[in-house]
Amino acid sequence: MTEAQQAVAQAQAQVQAADRQIAAATAAVQTTQAAIAALEPRRQELQAGLTEIERLNAEITRDPLERATLQQVAAQLSARTAALEESHLVARFALEDAETLLASSITRRNELTTLLAGLATQIPEAEAQEAAAQQALAAAEAEVTALLEEGP
């Protein structure tokens, strides 16, 4: 009886474990499906781009050419190229600006590092001078006090 009960309990535990695995797998599948669905527009976009490229290539290499169609293709390409060239120029100028800023920042960092290194030696020296001056001041005050107490 005990063995049977143990077997049942073990079987129930296995079923529960299997249920958990199923739930986890289901969740994973759902996540994957969601990810796939999210990528679908991008896939369609890329597919459309490839199709468009193939169409352009086909028109450019068609022999003999279809002049009216190729004129439209050339116009599309020209407009896209002009826009890309403009974007490229803007990006290039922005890159140059960033590089210039980076160079100046690095230069300033080096300057600051040099200055701090100088301060690292100057400050102890100044503090020592300050301490020495305080000692000299105490000595001078003591000397004056002694003279006053001593009298003429």
Contact criterion met (CB below 8 Å) for 60 and 73: yes
Contacting range for other proteins; rule: CB under 8 A; set: 4-12, 20-28, 36-44, 89-97: 89-97
Residue whose pair of structure tokens reads 């290499």 in the numeric block: 61
Residue type, 124: P
Q: How far is CA 49 from CA 46, 56, 78, 86, in A?
A: 5, 10, 17, 21
Contacting range for other proteins; rule: CB under 8 A; set: 8-16, 17-25, 40-48, 116-124: 116-124
Contact criterion met (CB below 8 Å) for 70 and 62: yes
**What Rg, from alpha-carbon coordinates, does the chain have?**
42
77 part of the interface to other proteins, by CB under 8 A: yes
Q: CB-wise, 46 or 98, nearer to other proteins?
A: 98
Residues contributing to the site for other proteins (CB under 8 A): 56-57, 59-61, 63-65, 67, 70-71, 73-75, 77-82, 84-85, 87-88, 91-95, 98-99, 101-102, 105-106, 108-109, 112-113, 115-116, 119-120, 122-123, 126-127, 129-130, 132-134, 136-137, 139-141, 143-144, 147-148, 151-152
